[in-house]
Structures are given as structure tokens and as C-alpha cells.
Chains A and B, each alone.
Chain A
Amino acid sequence: GAGVSQSPSNKVTEKGKDVELRCDPISGHTALYWYRQSLGQGLEFLIYFQGNSAPDKSGLPSDRFSAERTGGSVSTLTIQRTQQEDSAVYLCASSQGGGETQYFGPGTRLLVL
């Protein structure tokens, strides 16, 4: 079946602008995660959604970052007033449940000029 998809694949924006990144998880997966990968670095956890529970936002680096998950499926990560240090690859993953294997999307490469 289809894997996790993300859009756009690349995004170039100017400092101060807002951006929205989209994630379509694998159908039927109840858990969804956002990670950030800076150049040459590991994956940094941002936020986690599980079913109808309140999301775990403990990894969000500032209040400029927020995410929603509508209808238990598609998720949008929003970065307001982007800064150059926000430049990174933003990866989404989904799993069948909170304790199951996570499958990653291809990521969105964000460049803030």
C-alpha cells in the first residue's frame, strides 16, 4: 500500500514568513510523529499525535511551531515567522499504534533565506 507522503518536497521561504508542511500518514495508522533533521544531525522529536488524545508537544522548540491533525489522518505542521535556524528537513512518521514500528515519509526540505 501507499507509504507516508509529505508535501511540498522542497520549500524556500523568506525570513519572517509563515510556512505549512503537510503529512499524509499510512491509512489506518493512528499515531503520527513530526521530527526535524538538521544538516548532518540526528532526528529531533517535535510533536506526537495518538488517536483522539491530546498531542505530546514537548519537543516543539518554540511557540512559533504548531501542528494539527484533522480527522485523525492528515497533519499540518506550521512554522510562523520563520527564522534561518528553522532550515532543516522536516520528517513525518506514522505507526499503527503508539508502540508500533514508525514508518517515515520522504520529508520536506525547508530553506529559510
Chain B
Amino acid sequence: DAGVTQSPTHLIKTRGQQVTLRCSPKSGHDTVSWYQQALGQGPQFIFQYYEEEERQRGNFPDRFSGHQFPNYSSELNVNALLLGDSALYLCASSLRTGGSETQYFGPGTRLLVL
């Protein structure tokens, strides 16, 4: 049973460019959440997708957008990259049950903006 997978593992971009990161959830999961983790900090919640819609959003600008596909996989898009966007981007998947919804994380995509 494959866990959460993310691609690419590493990425280098320059300021002003746009980037797309991808996530495939754990088998049987229908909800995908994205987090940003700067060096030395805990992960920060970006947004969550369920039924192909953004259900919750953290304190991130509109430059950060996402999408969820019918197969539950998801993309995170970041436009107009800034140096401060350099971070580990984590995807987590879960199954919406109405009770506890344990999130399982992927290995992350490390983005470096030069």
C-alpha cells in the first residue's frame, strides 16, 4: 500500500518564476492538505482540499493556489516566487470521517528560490 507521494523531490527556481508541486494521497484517502516548512520551523498550514474544492486556508497570499483532481491527487502552485518561498513543501492526506482525521505526510518537495 503506497503512502503519500510527492514530486519532484527537489526543485530550484529563480525569483518571479512559477512552480507546480504534485501530491498523490495514500490509497483510500480523499482529503489533501499542504504545508510549508521553513528551515528550523514547524510546518505551517497552507490549505486543504476536499471534493475538489479548497475547504480551509491558512495565512498565505493568493500567490499560493491549488487544485484537487477527481482521483484525489493535488497540485500546489506558487506564482511570482520570492526568496522567502524557499522551504520544504509537505503534502498530507487523510480520510474525511467527521471524527478524528489522521493526516499522513509525504516526504516533501524542497524548493530553493534563487
**Does B bind A?**
no
Which chain A residues have a beta carbon within 8 Å of chain B's beta carbons?
none
